[in-house]
Amino acid sequence: MKLILLIAIVLFGQVAYSHCHDHEKAEAAKPSGDSIYQLPSHFQDQDGHDVSLKSLMGQPVILAMAYTSCQASCPFIVENMKTLESDLGKKGANTFKYVLVSFDSKRDGPEKLKSYAQSRHLDLSHWTLFHGDENAVRDLAAVLGIRYKRTEKGEYDHSNIIFLIDSDGVVRAQKVGLSTEAKEFEETAIALTKVKSK
């Protein structure tokens, strides 16, 4: 079909403009060079569904990497994200997807993630939790600039960062550390919901 259309355009050159427009629409679905969705990585969500990282494209995302058996800072990261969810919700910005990606490929399978989500009372209509193999975890951490190391005991030492990613997959803000101060991050997040992505 498309080939016939192409030939028709070459021969008649009349519908060139609308063809270009269609072509542009198709190209808009491709992530830009600055988008983290350039990564071809796949994960499993808490329901065990295979999900590509790229499938997060299309809405702004608030993302962090953590793991379920983390005793130290991860609970704070999750709480910070829930506070953001509540603050942004109050300001009418409720199109965000909240994503938690586990470092722990070995122990944090979908069932573990599901039960963690339930025990933390995460609203799964907004939240999604990802399990990835070591390569997927490594690539995502690399593209985000997160440092991490698996210890001999199977724990993870890691940076504490929450990311604000726009609907095209470009990182727009970072919240580093555990402080509850989030004014600038929230302002940038709200500004994102007001800008239409191309």
Partner 1 sequence: MVRIPKGEYVPFVLRSERNKDEKAEFVRRPTQVGAFSLDRSLVSRRQFLKFLKAKPEWRKSKVARVFADPHYLDDWQSDLKLKSDADLDRPVTHVSWFAAKAYCEFLGMTLPTTDQWEYALEDQGRHKQEVSHAILEWYSEPNSRAQSKVGSTPANGFGVQDLIGVAWEWTLDFNSFLAGDEMREGSSKQDALFCGGGSLGKLDPSDYASFMRYSFRTSLKASYTTANLGFRCAKENL
Which one of 41-49, 115-123, 124-132, 156-164 is the stretch in contact with partner 1 (CB under 8 A)?
A: 156-164
- Judged by CB under 8 A, does residue 198 bind partner 1? no
Reduced to 3 states (helix: H, G, I; strand: E, B; else coil), residue 111 is helix
What is d(CA 171, CA 169) in angstroms, rounded to the nearest whole number?
Answer: 6
Which SS3 state, helix, strand or coil, does residue 131 take? Answer: strand
Whole-number minimum distance, CB 135 to partner 1, in Å? 9
Under 8 Å between Cβ of 58 and 167: yes
What is the sign, positive or negative, of the torsion defined by CA atoms of 47, 53, 59, 60?
A: positive
CB of 93 to partner 1, least distance (A): 25
C-beta atoms surrounding 64 within 10 Å: 22
Total residues interacting with partner 1, rule: CB under 8 A: 31
Site for partner 1 in 101-140 (CB under 8 A): 138
Half-sphere exposure of 147 (CA within 13 A, CB side): 3
* Choices 33-41, 53-61, 121-129, 183-191 (CB under 8 A): range interacting with partner 1: 33-41
Which residues in the 70-99 window bind partner 1 by CB under 8 A?
70, 72-74
One of 59, 105, 159, 174 touching partner 1 (CB under 8 A):
159
Looking at 143, 172, 174, 188, which residue binds partner 1 (CB under 8 A)?
Answer: 143
Q: Is 80 in contact with 175 (CB distance < 8 Å)?
A: yes
The pair phi, psi for residue 146, each rounded to 5°, is: -90, 130
Residue of the chain from 25, 149, 196, 198 that contacts partner 1 (CB under 8 A) = 149
| Interaction site with partner 1 (CB under 8 A) | 33-36, 38, 70, 72-74, 138, 141-143, 145-149, 151-153, 155-160, 176-179
